[in-house]
Amino acid sequence: MKKLLLFLFITALQVNAQEDAWIFLKDKPNKTTFLENPLTMLSQRALDRRSKLSISLDSLDVPIDQTYYNLIKNESNIIVLAKSKWLNAIHIQGEVNDINNLSSIHNFIDHIEFADKTLNTSGKFSSKPISTISNHYNKFSETLTDFNYGDADNQIKMLKGDHLHEQGLTGAGQIIAIIDAGFPNVNTLSAFQRIRDNNQILGGYNFADRNTNIYSRNSHGTHVLSAIAGYVEDEFVGTAPDAKFYLFISEIYETETILEETLWVEAAERADSLGVDVINTSLGYTTFDNPNHSHTYQDMDGKTTFISRGAEIGASRGLLLVNAAGNDGNNTWKYIGAPADAPSVITVGAVDASENIASFSSFGPTWDGRIKPEILSQGKNPALIDYSSGNITTSSSGTSFSSPIMAGLIACLNQNDSFPLISSGQTLENYNYHLKKAVYESADRYNNPLDQYGYGIPNFEEALNSYRASLSIIENKIKGLKVYPNPVKKQFIISIDNDDLNNFAIQIFNILGKKVLEKTNLKSKTIDVSFLNKGVYILKVLNKNEYKTIKLIKE
C-alpha cells in the first residue's frame, strides 16, 4: 500500500507541475484577406524574392488568428510564451490538466503537443536520451575584390572563397540573418565600423527579452557575426563583407529550455518576412535543463523537433539555412542537434587550419540515415574579432564559427546580380537544389562521405563554375528580346531580333505565383494587360527550349 501511495503522490506532483506545450490550431479564418493583401504579412523585398523563386504564397505565410491567440492568452491558468505562424502553433506553459482541458473549451484547437513526450496521448514515444546531462554550458565552449585577409587568410582560402571575392562576389545585394545569443559591442567596435558606416546592419530583434536591444546578452553572436562581416584593414576580412544583416537573439544563455526552439522559429519567420536570403544559426538543441524535454537520437530525423519542422518550412519559403553541426564529437552524445538534422539545412562541421577534422565536431548521420554534416570549414582556432577588446583572436573553437564562415560564402555564391533570375514556372528546387548540389559536389570527400566529415571541404571556385553552368540550363536568354513600355498601363510590345513570333509564347504570373495570362503562337507583338490590377508581375517569354523572365510592373 505504501508503494501505491508513493506512486500516486509522485503522479500528482507530475500532473500539477508547470509544463511546456504547443497548441496547434485548426485553421486561419482570415487567410483569404491576408493572401489578397500580401504586404500586410510580408515586405516588398520578401515578395520580390518569392516572385524570383516562383514560390506561391499560402496559408503558412498567414499570421495566427488574433482572436484565437487572445482567447488562449486570456486563460487564467495559462501563460503564453511564443507563437509560430508557420506551424500555426502557440507555445504555452501551465499545469498538465489545465492544458489538456483547453481542447474541450476551444473548438479551434486541432491538437496539443507536450514538450515532455510521455504526456502526449498519441504520437511519438521515445526512450530516454543517450545523456540526460545538460550540454548548455558547453554549447558555446572554447575546445572569431582584392582583400588582404590577414589572419583570416587560411579560413577563406581553404574554401577558395578568395576566388568568389575576386569575381566581385562579396555578398552585395544579399541579406543575412544571424540568429544567436547576443551581439554586445557590435555597435561600438572598430572592426564593425565598416558595416555600420555603410548601413549594412538593417536592424533586428531580441526575442529573448522581447525588446529591440540587440547589442546585449551573450557575446557569442558578436564572434559569429565577425566571421562574416568583421573588417580590419590588412588584418582581417569576413567571408561576406558587403552583405547586409539582421541580428536576432533567440538563445537565452542563462538556461536551456525548449522555449528557445520556438523563439528561433519566430526569428526565422521574421527573417523571411523581411526578405532575408541566408540565415546562419550557430545553435543546436539536444538536451535541456528539464531532462523530460530532452531529445533522443531518434528525434534527429528532421521532422520531430519543433525547431527542425520550422526550419523545413523556412527552406520551403526560399531561405538558405546554414547551421552549426555541434560540438559533441567527443561526448557520449556525439551526434548533431536540431535544427542541423533538418533535410534542407546546410549543416557545417569543423576542421583545423591543416584541414584535419576537429575531434569535437559532431557526427552524423541523422536517425533516418541521411548524410550530416554535409560540409566542413575551419572551426578549430579560426580568426575572429574579440567582443571585448576588438582585437583579432584565434583562441576560440567550435562549429559555431565554421558555420558563419560557410554562410558568408553561401551568400556570395547566391549573390543576386550574378546570375539570371530563375524563371517563373520553375520550382524552388531548381534554385536551392543547384546551389547546394554545386557546393556539395565540389567537396573533397564527395564520393566517399563519412559520418563526421560528410562530403568534406568544399571548393567554391569549382562550385561557382558548376552553379553557373546549372543555371544556364535553367534559363537561356532570348537574344534581342525587348519589352516596352515597362511599367505598362494598358498594353506592352514584345520585340525580338527575329520578327517571327509564331513559335513564341508568353505567361504572366502574379505575386502569389498564379498564372494570370498565357498566350501561345503569338500573332501580334502587342499584348493587352488592361484587365490586370496594379502591381508587380513576372512575364515569361518562351521559344522552344529558350525562355527569359522579366519583372513587369502594371500601373
Q: What is the pLDDT of residues 496-514, one digit of tens each?
A: 776 667 778 888 887 666 7
Residue 12 pLDDT level (bands cut at 50, 70, 90):
very low
- 470 flagged as catalytic: no
State mean pLDDT over 436-448.
95
Percentage of residues of the chain with pLDDT beyond 90: 72
> How confident is the model over 268-298, as pLDDT tens digits?
999 999 999 999 999 999 999 999 999 999 9
Task: Considering the candidates 54, 282, 400, 442, report the single residue annotated as catalytic.
Answer: 400
- Three-class secondary structure of residue 131 per DSSP: coil
Task: Considering the candidates 65, 98, 162, 180, report the single residue annotated as catalytic.
Answer: 180
Determine the Cα–Cα distance for residues 280 and 405; give it in Å rounded to an integer.
10
State mean pLDDT over 320-340.
97
CB 461 within 8 A of CB 409: no
Residue 113: the pLDDT is: 97
Residue 139: the pLDDT is: 57
pTM for this entry = 0.84
- 65 flagged as catalytic: no
Percentage of residues of the chain with pLDDT beyond 70: 87
Q: What's 430's DSSP letter?
A: I
∠ CA 341-346-350, nearest 5°, is: 90
Which residues, in sequence order, are CB contacts of 224 under 8 Å at separation 6+?
A: 144, 178, 180, 280, 282, 400, 401, 403, 404
Residue 273: the pLDDT is: 98
Which residues, in sequence order, are CB contacts of 468 under 8 Å at separation 6+?
A: 419
Domain ranges of the chain: 10-119, 145-424+454-473, 482-554
Burial of 460 (0-12, 13-18, 19+ CB in 10 A): buried
Domain 10-119: top CATH class: alpha beta
Which homologous superfamily is 482-554 in? Immunoglobulins (2.60.40.10)
Task: Considering the candidates 91, 136, 163, 220, report the single residue annotated as catalytic.
Answer: 220
- For residue 313, pLDDT beyond 90: yes
Cell numbers of 419, please?
Answer: 546570375
Cell numbers of 176, please?
Answer: 543575412
Determine the Cα–Cα distance for residues 314 and 310; give it in Å rounded to an integer.
6
Residue 489: the pLDDT is: 92
Strands (E), 187-343: 201-206, 231-232, 236-237, 244-249, 278-281, 320-324
Residue 520: the pLDDT is: 81
- 400 flagged as catalytic: yes
Of 312-326, 475-489, 517-531, least confident by mean pLDDT is 475-489
Answer CATH for 145-424+454-473 from 3.30.9.10, 3.30.565.10, 3.30.70.20, 3.40.50.200: 3.40.50.200
